[in-house]
Each structure stands twice: as C-alpha cells, then as structure tokens.
Amino acid sequence: MKRLVLLVLGIAAAATAAHAQSNAELIEGALAAAPVRARDAAAVIQWNADFTYETLKEGTNRIVCYHRSDEARRQPFAVQCTSVANLERVAQSRRFRAEAGQDAAAERAMVDEAEANGTRIAPEFGSFFTSMNGPDQAGARSHTTIAVPGATSESLGLPDNPSQGGAWLMAVGTTTAHIMIPGH
C-alpha cells in the first residue's frame, strides 16, 4: 500500500513538473513578440475555446502576449502582443476566425458585417499589435501595426497606400484602421 501511495505521489509530482515546464515554454514563446524593454513586465495569457482566457503570467504594464497558432490559417509559430485594452477585440476576432474555419472570405464577411452594423469592437487608439509568425520561432518574422480606429489620410496626414514609402494607413475610416510600419 505504501508503495502504491508513493507511486501515485510520484506520478502527480511528475505531471505537475511537466505542466509547469509547458507553461514556461508557452510564456517564453509568447513573450518573443513583446518589445524587449517591456518583456519582463508583460502579461501572458492562454486563450480558451470559449474565447475567454487564463493568465499564465501576471504583468505590471499594459502589454499582454498570447499564442495564436491554434487558430485556423495560422503558421505553426504564431504569437502576438497588444494592449490589455484590446482583449475584447481579440476575442471577437478569434470568434470570427473560429466560425469561418478555413474560409478566409467568410471571416472577412463577418468582420465587414460587424463593422457595418456597429458591433465591431474598436481597439484602443494608438495601441500596438505586434506579431511573430513562421514555421518556428527561429524562422518567424515580426509585424507591427498601430491601431488608429476611424482614422483617415486627412485626419492623420499619412498616405493610404504604400507606394510613397514610409508608414501608411490601411483600412481607412474603419475600426480596423491602422498604421503600417515598413520593414516589420
């Protein structure tokens, strides 16, 4: 009986250690997309299937990072960081992608419908979204945008296409309007 109890306790301890290690790996991977100066203070969450999340690492700044490789049409390594104020929008976007599955046009139609009927959740003006996507972390490329919901070329003084070089505004006049940063 004593051996059985020790065996059960040993298995439980090993399972706990394995879970902690996998959380540590999840945290490390998600933080790869965080700005270097803010990385230590950033939070890390893990999204649930019902579009809620669990906190894996508490943060002391407004940056939150998470994996996205579980979503349809994402690279095997896909992580993103943004402002904690944008989590409702991210949850809505994850729901649209999950409902659309492999159909990118269906996802676009859901986003367009939400935009048209006023239910699209706007991101925090001036907040960033930075992501890393690739076959693995070593081969991932970074991409950063600045959210400016409702902005137009006239309101920001930026071109609405990349042909002039430099930063430019994409999705003008919508909740999705954002500044594209070249080279990212």
**Residues 70, 160 within the same domain:** no
Residue 154: give the domain boundaries.
Answer: 148-184
Residues facing 63 on adjacent strands? 83
| CB of 80 closer than 8 Å to CB of 131 | yes
**Residues 40, 94 within the same domain:** yes
**Residues 127, 74 within the same domain:** yes
**Residues 46, 93 within the same domain:** yes
Distance separating alpha carbons of residues 173 and 150, to the nearest angstrom? 4
**Residues 175, 155 within the same domain:** yes
pLDDT in tens, 79-109: 999 999 999 999 999 999 999 999 999 999 9
Give the dihedral of Cα atoms 21, 27, 31, 32; nearest 10 deg: 40
| CB of 43 closer than 8 Å to CB of 62 | no
pLDDT in tens, 139-166: 999 999 999 999 999 999 999 999 988 9
**Residues 174, 125 within the same domain:** no
Task: Tell me: pLDDT of 77 over 50.
Answer: yes
**Residues 51, 83 within the same domain:** yes
pTM of the shown model: 0.85
**Residues 163, 132 within the same domain:** no
**Residues 71, 127 within the same domain:** yes
Band the pLDDT of 9: cuts 50, 70, 90.
very low
